[in-house]
Chains A and B, each alone.
Chain A
Amino acid sequence: MKMQSASPSWLPPNAAAHGFAMDHLMRWNLAVLGLCFLIAHALLFILLLRRSKSSTGSPVPRSWMVQVVPIVLFAAIYLTMAITAERLWASKRFEGAAPQSMQVEVTGRQFQWYFRYPGTDATFGRLDPSLIQPANGNPLGINPADEHGKDDIVASELVLPVGREVDLTLRAQDVIHGLFIPAMRLKQNAVPGQLLHVHFTPVAEGTYPIVCSQVCGLGHARMQARLRVIGAGEFKAWLASKEAAR
């Protein structure tokens, strides 16, 4: 089911739960600032073209209203923007994902995204960078000695069931990459040496592009992937087929 979202027209349609609030915020920010831009330039044009008849202009009115009101107005605008935005930020970032959210690990490497599912044991296997061998089917360096790694599913596309919160763990093998899923209004750098978490809930089925947003070398523009959001039943079937193929 595709939900109608009132995104500003240039943004791709939103498909994430938190995206509606973000789009709303974006819309009124753009509207207010766009209006300020137009008013300011209209004023500039008026001042540019004005020719007074009298020979001496009167000085800037000393009335405190003219001097103080604009800045108070702007300060109020900025304050409102700051508060609304911080609220949204806090709601998304200050708390971690819900405990029952699905865990997927995203690994960026030059120039490919890998997505790892923990499998039936719900635990990710240990990784060893010296075991990384993409040509031999082990692009993440999963340690074969580790039991938990045996049922991990590694895919090059991100497949998610609709309506369920997912907690992504971001890793990078070599340089800083940026995971950007525009339709999910999501961006987070993957930094080598760190495990970073972001969570979101996809609410509309479809196929969405994933692009890399942090320059990572000559293949930066090619480092793309797809997010497929499918129904819960389809997702189960997909997982099963991946496990069987392993």
Chain B
Amino acid sequence: MPATFTRTPAHEVERKDTGIGGRPPVDKRPTGGGGGDENWDRHGHGRGGPRELITRYRMALIFGLSGDLMFFIAIVSIFFARQATGHFDARNDYVMDWRPIYLPSILFINTAIMLVSSLTMEIARQQLFRETDVMDEWLGIGRPMSRRATPWLLATIALGLLFLGGQWIAWEQLSEAGVFFSGNPASHFFYLITGAHGAHLLLGLVALGAAIAGVYWLKRVEYRQILVDCTAWYWHSMGVLWF
């Protein structure tokens, strides 16, 4: 139970507490004292064991993504609110300028590509955590985990590029159909959201490239894992967001 006070030790001690820098009473009980708190696994900086760094980076990614998510949530809720607004303007005419966009079919293909790329990414990520391979790589005997992961990473990059290409084609199809960014609010949102998503995906591709490079260049095994792992979760989130 958290507390602001700790009581005196039950037994007498010979050495008095002389304030700062002096010798505090020695706690002779077997349990090591302070038995109420729940975080004995919290080993502190630098001594958290093999999972410490990756937990930390994953946490940072989660916080960052939640901020990013909030950004998209804001835009999407405005989208829904806007969809529902029609009002009487100064001329007493009912104004409802919302014209829904008919989505080009290529977007459904893109969704499928997104799914598959998440799959390849996940497989790549799993390769980096196989214990036996990790041990081998850590000991310096060959690079089995990196070798297994690389083709899947490359596949994910290829699919990502395909996806972005598909987005580009979708944009071209829409502009040929006369739907521009500045046309009407629905198109504003469409371009804005897909544009932001695409920009994030480009960042993801850069991260993937860095991951492949890192897998071969980074010295510490943990860092390789972290890079690929974080990239993977980022990629999955982008997939979820796309839905």
Within 8 A of A (CB), among B82-122: 87-92
Interface string of A116-132 (1 = CB under 8 A from B): 00000000001111000
Contacts of B89 in A (CB 8 A): 193
Q: Which residue of A lies closest to B88 (CB)?
A: A195
Q: Which residue of A lies closest to B91 (CB)?
A: A126
Contacts of A195 in B (CB 8 A): 88, 90
Q: How many A-B contacts at CB < 8 Å in the complex?
A: 12
B-side interface residues, number (CB < 8 Å): 6
The smallest beta-carbon distance between B88 and chain A, in angstroms, is 7
A185 within 8 A of partner (CB): no
The smallest beta-carbon distance between A199 and chain B, in angstroms, is 19
Within 8 A of B (CB), among A146-204: 171, 193-195
The smallest beta-carbon distance between A69 and chain B, in angstroms, is 24
Q: What is the size category of the interface that chain A forms with chain B? A: under 10
The smallest beta-carbon distance between A238 and chain B, in angstroms, is 27
Measured CA separation A131–B88 after assembly (Å): 19
Contacts of A194 in B (CB 8 A): 87
Contacts of B91 in A (CB 8 A): 126-128
Measured CA separation A183–B20 after assembly (Å): 66
Residue with the greatest number of chain A CB neighbours at <10 A, chosen from B87, B91, B92: B91
Q: Which residue of B lies closest to A194 (CB)?
A: B87
Measured CA separation A128–B88 after assembly (Å): 14
Within 8 A of B (CB), among A33-74: none
Contacts of B90 in A (CB 8 A): 127, 129, 171, 195
Measured CA separation A195–B91 after assembly (Å): 11
The smallest beta-carbon distance between A177 and chain B, in angstroms, is 15
What are 12 A-B pairs with beta-carbon distances under 8 A?
Answer: A126-B91, A126-B92, A127-B90, A127-B91, A128-B91, A129-B90, A171-B90, A193-B87, A193-B89, A194-B87, A195-B88, A195-B90
